[in-house]
Amino acid sequence: MAFLSLEHLCFGHCFGFRASDFEFLTEKTGIFVQPLTMNIEENINQEGDVVLVHHEEKPALYARIEAIGPDVKKDWFQCTLLLLTLPAQTVTWILREEYINGAPFTMGGQAMRLEKVKGIKLEREREKEATSTEKKSKGKSGRVIPFKKGER
């Protein structure tokens, strides 16, 4: 099973292809378009995110991304991590964007990977959100005062 990326769709659009053309190709060739409705924000690691660092395909330690800044090499970034170990340590790794966002890479011949840790919502936080949305939706009913043009 093969997939077309968003880049393929944009490239095809430049040459006049429509979405229905890609649907036809999907049916006839078995090439499927990646879903465009995925939430991209979920897959991007940012400053402040907690990640699980995998070493040689095994979870090794947790770290918090402290800073991400450009490196002198094009398309590479300096990623500063606070390693949540005892004692805590700060390291700066030079990584590509895809490596920061979870793609496997090697460091000194060792296989590495960063996996975003998704937080869980506690029951009381869910209740707070539910009550705050109820309060917002109820609101106060206002009185509409029509604008009348004054006579002179």
pLDDT tens digits for 1-26? Answer: 344 444 444 444 444 555 554 455 55
Round the average pLDDT of the chain to a whole number and report it. Answer: 76
Task: Please say whether the beta carbons of 83 and 61 come within 8 A.
Answer: yes
Q: Which residues of 101-138 are buried (b: 16+ CB within 10 A; e: fewer)?
A: eeeeeeeeeeebbbebeeeeeeeeeeeeeeeeeeeeee
Please check whether residues 73 and 55 belong to one and the same domain.
yes
Residue 150 has pLDDT above 60, yes or no: yes
Q: Which residue has the higher pLDDT, 44 or 100?
A: 100
Please check whether residues 30 and 61 belong to one and the same domain.
no
Please check whether residues 46 and 112 belong to one and the same domain.
yes
Q: What is the pLDDT of residue 151?
A: 61
Please check whether residues 25 and 50 belong to one and the same domain.
no
Least confidently predicted of 28-32, 37-41, 131-135: 37-41
Q: What is the mean pLDDT of residues 17-45?
A: 52
Q: Model's pTM, two decimal places?
A: 0.55
Residue 95 has pLDDT above 70, yes or no: yes
Q: Which residue segment(s) compose the domain that 24 sits in?
A: 2-38
In the block, residue with structure tokens 């917002």: 136
Q: What is the mean pLDDT of residues 39-63?
A: 86
